[in-house]
Structure 1
């Protein structure tokens, strides 16, 4: 999973990227695109690791990409920063909600709702340019080839343009499953799930966990494939420098229930429809990320392609029942370890052991 952090300058985007990935960016460092990996916190995997005491503990990971700051007018140009956003599975739009006279906002004042509208407009314009260019190419191509698939694509592009011109992001437009599949190759920005990270001031921690309306973003309430997480990057940066015990005490003092990393990753999984399953043993306990609704054979291919090709059956047990049993052998004796076929839909928290032909 790859998530691209984007937003206006001085929003705290790079500070947040540093917190998520654990990679420090020195003050005054050259502005550039940065990639980093965050380990997904999962107490279920921690407890399974404590039970099996394996040689390796391997959590799932998320790749975060910190692109250069955007600005008003970005969507009207072939800005290379937009191209760096397109490969991402989702966008994390960082909105500034903190005031700092020593670090003025590029738009002159603090207004997250205005910044959200500005960024969404730039994404709409960028997508509109892509769709219109594609229509121009198809208009030139169809008289020569007269292929039905080209005419169908042109019709779909006109549908895209109509949605964008009405200021409707493509993630919220009505498309069939086949149409959405056809649109994937264009990597439209407004078709991507959007996670809005509201970067609060240090004195506004009471707003962490508040609904969008209380953050001045009521327009986001109920929107499809959009989620909002409020945090204070500066406070999270301070917490990251503490020992685990001191960090927990500091969070309790401020009334912060859990780290921003946990909340952002959980929101990302929810937006993208992702779940985790586990493999366990003395060599390794590992979390694997798949899309909700994935069958057992396809899930086996996430572990190794040979397991998918030679799939026979999967032994399956819920992670908490395995903990209750105390071992796979004990779970098998109690009849808690089920044999499932290739069409079994893997559920969040399942522990899988794949039987396969060599």
Structure 2
């Protein structure tokens, strides 16, 4: 899974990225395109399993986070969207607009004033224009190709592209259009910008802690047709938190009235948007979190561990994390009737602990 951080220059995007990077396993940098970090997904459930089994290794789930270079003012004193910027944005499964709401006279906003609603509208409009241009060109090409060929795929694609084009012309992002699995599959190679799941992360300063809920409520109301999730965060505070011990972090968050860190919010929201969840494998050698799509069967989940497990699947031993913690061991879970054997069609739940039986 890849998420891209997008925003204007001096929005706090890179500070947020550095906060996420404090939990990274390795990094890779390309200033012309994006800075990339593979970030461990914190999971208290996995930590608790490791405390019980004391394994040789704990393996968290990971996501890739891309810090896409911030948009700057051009020579004609306008913020300009470049092709290289759009290419970097397209290569992500979900997008996070990082929007500036903090005030700092020493850091000049590219548009000279602080206006979160304006910045959100600017990004949405530019990305929508890009999608409209692509769809218009694609429509022309399909119609030309259909004169030369009787390709059935083109006949299926034409009404879909027309539907998207008409929706985008109403100034509505494509993520708000209901599509079935077949249509999503047809569009998968096109990387349309406003079709991607979107989170709008608004960066406040500590003076706004008391009013942030009301401010976010206003933005949600204004952009209710965007199909986006909204997350308020405090970049400077979050970065300080990322450098602290767990004990100090909890005290600091309590003092500032912060209930959840930006890292947890971003990762949790990313999973929800992309329809993902985690299951666990546990033992003395390793405790590991595995990322799967919601509604995956036990056999499909087994295939994520190893392809042989999918092909030679027999049964899955299953107990949910909550039950395992409640009873304290697999033996006690069996006695309580919450440990069970499931077949290949069993739908795996978020937090299930699995042991795969296979040939």
> TM-score, length-normalised on structure 2?
0.91
CA distance in 2, matches of 1:285, 1:23: 18
1:30 Cα deviation from its structure 2 partner = 5.7
Pick closer, same or farther for the CA change 1:207–1:317 going to 2, 3 Å. Answer: farther
CA distance in 1, matches of 2:214, 2:273: 18
1:131-150 equivalences under 5 Å are 131-150=135-154
SS of 2:323 mapped into structure 1: helix
Structure 1 stretches of 5 or more lacking a match?
none
Deviations 1:238-259 (A, max 9, x none): 2223333222222111111121
Partner of residue 207 from structure 2, selected from 203, 226, 242: 203
Pick closer, same or farther for the CA change 1:54–1:206 going to 2, 3 Å. Answer: same
CA distance in 1, matches of 2:217, 2:335: 53
1:327-342 equivalences under 5 Å are 327-342=329-344
RMSD over equivalenced CA pairs, Å: 2.1
Deviations 1:123-176 (A, max 9, x none): 101111221222222232111113232132122212211111111111101333
CA distance in 2, matches of 1:73, 1:173: 29
CA distance in 2, matches of 1:61, 1:241: 20
SS of 1:134 mapped into structure 2: helix
Partner of residue 352 from structure 1, selected from 337, 354, 357: 354
CA distance in 1, matches of 2:206, 2:116: 16
1:180 Cα deviation from its structure 2 partner = 2.1
Pick closer, same or farther for the CA change 1:221–1:165 going to 2, 3 Å. Answer: closer
Q: Give the match for residue 87 of structure 1.
A: 91
CA distance in 2, matches of 1:187, 1:290: 22
Pick closer, same or farther for the CA change 1:208–1:339 going to 2, 3 Å. Answer: farther
Deviations 1:304-344 (A, max 9, x none): 11111111110000112122332223433444321111110
Say if 2:102 is the partner of 1:98.
yes
Is contact 1:124-1:164 (8 Å) kept? yes
Is contact 1:205-1:231 (8 Å) kept? no
**Corresponding residue pairs, total:** 349
Is contact 2:31-2:69 (8 Å) kept? no
Partner of residue 165 from structure 2, selected from 140, 147, 161: 161
Q: Give the match for residue 18 of structure 1.
A: 18
Q: Which moved more, 1:10-19 or 1:240-249?
A: 240-249
Structure 2 stretches of 5 or more lacking a match?
25-29, 73-77
